[in-house]
C-alpha cells in the first residue's frame, strides 16, 4: 500500500522503514474498513451455498472449514453475518497461514487441521470468487 502513496520499497527489507510502517498501517486500516462494511449484501453467498453448508453440517461427523486469501477477521465476519459460525470448526485467512495464495500452504494447513488425508477430505469450503471455474477445462 505504501507504493500507492509514492514511496519506494527499500532495496533490502527493513521493517522500520517508512515504506514498511506506512504500508503496515494502511493495510490494517483497509482491513478494518472492509471488514466493518461486510454484511450479507456486500459479501453474498452463491445461490444455494448456505443451504448446502447447512445440509452438509446436518449429516453429522463432518467438519467444515473456510479458507480465504482475505484476512481471517473477514472470514470470521462473513461466516458470522450469514449465521453459519456454529457450523465451522476451522477458519483461516491469508494472515494466519504459512503463506497466502498462490501457495497451497493454507489449504494444506486447513486439511491437516481437519484431520483428514487430502484424498479423503470430507468438506472444505474455500471462500474465493470462482466464476472462472465455469469455463475451465476439467
Backbone angles phi, psi at 92, to 5 degrees: -135, 150
Q: Could you tell me which of 114, 99, 100 has the C-alpha nearest to residue 66?
A: 114
Confidence of residue 7 (pLDDT cuts 50, 70, 90): low
Cβ distance 71 to 35 under 8 Å?
yes
Per-residue pLDDT reduced to its tens digit, 25-80: 888 888 888 889 999 999 999 888 899 889 888 887 778 889 998 899 999 999 99
Cβ distance 84 to 53 under 8 Å?
yes
Cβ neighbours, 10 Å, residue 40? 12
Domain ranges for the chain:
2-36, 49-135
Amino acid at each position: 500500500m505504501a507504493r500507492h502513496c509514492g514511496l519506494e520499497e527499500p532495496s533490502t527489507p527493513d521493517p522500520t522503514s517508512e515504506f514498511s510502517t506506512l504500508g503496515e498501517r494502511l493495510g490494517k486500516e483497509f482491513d478494518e474498513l472492509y471488514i466493518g462494511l461486510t454484511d450479507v449484501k456486500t459479501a453474498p453467498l452463491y445461490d444455494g451455498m448456505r443451504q448446502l453448508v447447512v445440509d452438509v453440517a446436518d449429516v453429522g461427523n463432518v467438519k467444515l472449514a473456510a479458507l480465504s486469501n482475505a484476512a481471517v477477521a473477514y472470514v470470521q465476519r462473513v461466516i458470522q453475518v450469514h449465521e453459519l459460525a456454529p457450523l465451522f470448526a476451522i477458519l483461516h485467512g491469508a494472515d494466519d497461514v504459512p503463506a497466502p495464495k498462490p501457495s497451497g500452504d493454507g489449504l494444506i494447513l486447513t486439511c491437516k487441521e481437519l484431520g483428514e488425508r487430502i484424498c479423503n477430505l470430507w468438506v472444505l469450503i474455500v471462500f474465493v470468487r470462482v466464476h472462472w471455474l465455469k469455463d475451465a477445462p476439467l
